[in-house]
Amino acid sequence: MKTERLAPDDAGLARAAELLGKGTCVAFPTETVYGLGADARHDDAVAGIYAAKGRPAHNPLIVHLPDLAAAADLAELPDAARVLAAAFWPGPLTLVLPLKRGAGLSRLVTAGLDSVALRVPAAPVARRLLARSGLPLAAPSANPSGRISPTTADHVLAGLAGRIAAVVDGGPCAVGLESTILDLTGSPRLLRPGGIPAEALARVLDMPLDLRRVTDDTAPAAPGLMASHYAPRARVRLNAETPGTDEVLLGFGPVQGAALNLSETGDLAEAAAGLFAALHRLDTGGATAIAVSPIPDTGLGRAINDRLRRAAAPRPDGP
Ligand code: AMP
Ligand code: MG
């Protein structure tokens, strides 16, 4: 299959909507990363996402929607969900909610769970595609499973060209990190740090939130949050003050000798936006080992460190 690169204009979005309507997979930009979208109501369409990514089937998908009303059709919305949606939707917050009976979603989307992960994205191209297609779009990141997430159409094509019908090229993603995932099926529980700092969620909910991210070992309720993920081919070492002889330095703040710097001024939003692009660049540049400067573990820094820890984790398939 030849993967079409579509412009984010009327003609491009009409073509993307047509392909999605036929049940094929189309990658599109959101404010977090590029998603690989398919009609969340149809098994064959959703199966195409798992096949293209090589994603394990026990790992459920986030459903992207135009607004809160669409979310209310699919899931029960506790008060906390309405409060958070009012504050952060559209935006990089995913809520895990009790699935409504008869919601009509493919069971592959929820991996058979009785909950569903929903998000209303903010990026204009994503919003226009949702409106144009009229479909709830299941969309994980548009990369081969376990690899670095894509923040440009070129990243998507580097990983999935020939395996998906099309990519809508909307330029680089503004946030650059995946959404924060909050489980609201019981008392609020952080499943993944991301584009909305957990501190901001706690403030809006007016309650303390446990900021220790839940991992696979402790939470079968959040399948797919594997230790090794976001992995470049190169080895990754964190909290490095100086690089070793075989390492290139990925800097943060005013450090000397960095091959790339995530933010010379120490700005966490700038670092988040450029993190995956930097890992892609070092990887394609042939680095065999990457040392990363220390990054403060507050606000967006928690999500950055989470991704870096998993990029550095031992690989099931590698050294
Ligand atoms: P992504 O890989 O960015 O598409 O993120 C999807 C992640 O959301 C999955 O790996 C799960 O950890 C989480 N998730 C999705 N649906 C559910 C659900 N129903 N319950 C708990 N976690 C979920
Ligand atoms: Mg992903």
pLDDT, tens only, 172-218: 999 999 999 999 999 899 999 999 999 999 999 988 877 666 554 33
285 has a pLDDT exceeding 60? yes
Q: Ligand 1, atom 3: nearest CA belongs to which residue?
A: 140
Residue-by-residue DSSP string for 8-46: SSHHHHHHHHHHHHTT--EEEE-SSSEEEEEETT-HHHH
**Other CB atoms within 10 Å distance of the CB of residue 198:** 22
Closest CA to 309 of 318, 297, 319, 299: 297
Residue 214, pLDDT score: 58
257 CA to centre of ligand 2 in angstroms: 31
Quote the pTM value. Answer: 0.93
Per-residue pLDDT tens over the stretch 54-73: 998 888 999 999 999 999 99
DSSP string, 283-318: HHTT-SEEEE----SSTHHHHHHHHHHHHHSPPTT-
Mark out the alpha helices in the chain (DSSP H runs).
10-21, 43-53, 68-74, 79-88, 107-110, 124-133, 153-160, 198-205, 268-284, 300-312
Which atom of ligand 1 lies closest to the CA of 139? Answer: 4
Ligand nearest to the CA of 141: 2
* Nearest-angstrom CA–CA distance, 115 and 108: 12
The residues, any chain, with a CB within 8 Å of residue 124's CB and separated by 6 or more, are none
CA distance 267 to 264: 8
In the three-class reduction of DSSP (H, G, I as helix; E, B as strand; rest coil), residue 234 is classed as: coil
Tell which one of 28, 61, 116 to mutate to probe ligand 1, the residue whose CB is within 8 A of the most ligand atoms. 61
Where is mean pLDDT largest: 117-121, 144-148, 240-244, 285-289?
A: 117-121
pLDDT at 225: 57
Compute the distance between CA of residue 85 and CA of residue 160 in angstroms, rounded to an integer. Answer: 32
Residue from 59, 76, 110, 307 whose mutation best tests the ligand 1 pocket (most atoms within 8 A of CB): 59
Q: Please provide residue 32's backbone torsions phi and psi, each rounded to the nearest 5 degrees.
A: -85, -75
The mean of the pLDDT values for the chain is 92
Phi and psi for 36 in degrees, rounded to 5? -105, 100
Peptide linkage before 90 cis (omega within 30 of 0)? yes
Q: How remote is the CA of residue 314 from the centroid of ligand 2, in Å? A: 17
Determine which residue's CA is closest to atom 20 belonging to ligand 1. 222
Say what the pLDDT of residue 50 is. 96
User: What domains are there in the chain, each with its CATH number?
Assistant: 4-205 (3.90.870.10), 235-312 (no CATH)
Beta strands in 132-288 (DSSP E): 137-138, 166-168, 180-183, 189-192, 235-237, 248-251, 260-261
